[in-house]
Structure 1
């Protein structure tokens, strides 16, 4: 298997969306955020429609990478990082900054994003879930600055092959080069990967979804990695 790590591109939005959603669709807690009649194919289509705008919006602070199977040309994993404010105006990690597009394309991508609407999300459950997480997130970020890993997903058939680690290491090298701590919020599935690369759990949040039909609580792990200068 040959895998290439490169910058995300709007032209690969459908393939990237497929990797993102197929990875998340294994998690029943994530699936429960959508109304029962919403299928994975519908979520994938909506994600592909929204993704070009998500890639180019916030271009100054966001860095996006994908892993591509060199044999099939398919995107198999995606990572999004957010630079700290003090580095936004600097030329940091430019090879992972999505290429700028024309004003006409920006308008087109924004309209595609807006046309998707609420994506079939259960907004009451989303708010119930998000409120405590956002409170902890805001408190932790006061101890920054951080290079934040905002999203990391690998398609199921490519998991446990070191691809997520490849994307993770790329960002951590940037963090170390600039003396930055790194920060991520993880589900239980990702904790071991992050711990293996130096992250430590600093706080957890367990949410009981029973009033929304959930069968068991779900725990989120807030994790920080200190900068590790080269020796």
Structure 2
């Protein structure tokens, strides 16, 4: 596990796209043009890397160096130094998580879908006001989607907690423990600091987080049917989950 740099943006965008592409309840605001979405992802990832209050971590395949998964964390004020170097420092330290990332045959009961959190990189209410929609996407759909997320974040005072704003796993690395490898070190730091943690989970991701101590505090459902011209049927469901700091062993 290591900090990605700008050289990794292509790979991160690929993992992001592939992990959410199969979930229409989280992608109905996307443009149909794949290249346009990649263009937007590049800009968003680069912008987030420039934010000193955000940390990115990735898990790499030791043999080929391929990005297996990556996570984005929002760090509350006053805790920046505890959660690793900002990407601008371009630190090269890496953590060996090979004991956590195991072969699926050895960990067959691990539920780890590709996309386990809502893509909430625009969760801050102030950011939603100025969000630029992907080229070819409907700006009103994007505004509606991210405004929902922003309202939840504000309601639960997420900026006062360690926030998991994004977690993506490449479809090629299902059920190999990559999510746990990305979560466990940061949650251990939160425990040591007595800090609560926050996320907004997809239905598929909820069991992953429950195993790590997160508990549902609210379930938010909304129907995008009216906003998509009938393209998306059924409710979009997000579970707001908070984890209390765990006692140190």
TM-score by length of 2: 0.76
Residue of structure 2 in register with 1:9 after alignment: 5
Query: 1 or 2, which has the higher helix percentage?
Result: 1
Residue of structure 2 in register with 1:109 after alignment: none
Give distance in 2, aligned partners of 1:137 and 1:179. Answer: 20
TM-score by length of 1: 0.81
Matched, 1:71 2:71: no
Q: Which has the higher contact order (CA 8 A, sep 6+)?
A: 2
Q: Structure 1: state its 5+ residue gaps.
A: 102-115
Structure 2 matches for 1:1-231, cutoff 5 A?
5-35=1-31, 37-39=32-34, 41-56=35-50, 58-59=51-52, 61-88=53-80, 91-95=81-85, 97-100=86-89, 118-141=134-157, 145-211=160-226, 212=228, 213=230, 214-231=232-249
Give distance in 2, aligned partners of 1:62 and 1:156. Answer: 25
Give distance in 2, aligned partners of 1:93 and 1:34. Answer: 32
Q: CA deviation at 1:25?
A: 0.8
Give distance in 2, aligned partners of 1:226 and 1:202. Answer: 12
Give distance in 2, aligned partners of 1:44 and 1:126. Answer: 16
3-state SS of 1:85 partner: coil
**2:37/2:134 contact within 8 Å kept:** no
Q: What is the number of equivalent residue pairs in this alignment?
A: 205
Query: 1 or 2, which has the higher strand percentage?
Result: 1
Give distance in 2, aligned partners of 1:202 and 1:117. Answer: 30
Give distance in 1, aligned partners of 2:135 and 2:187. Answer: 33
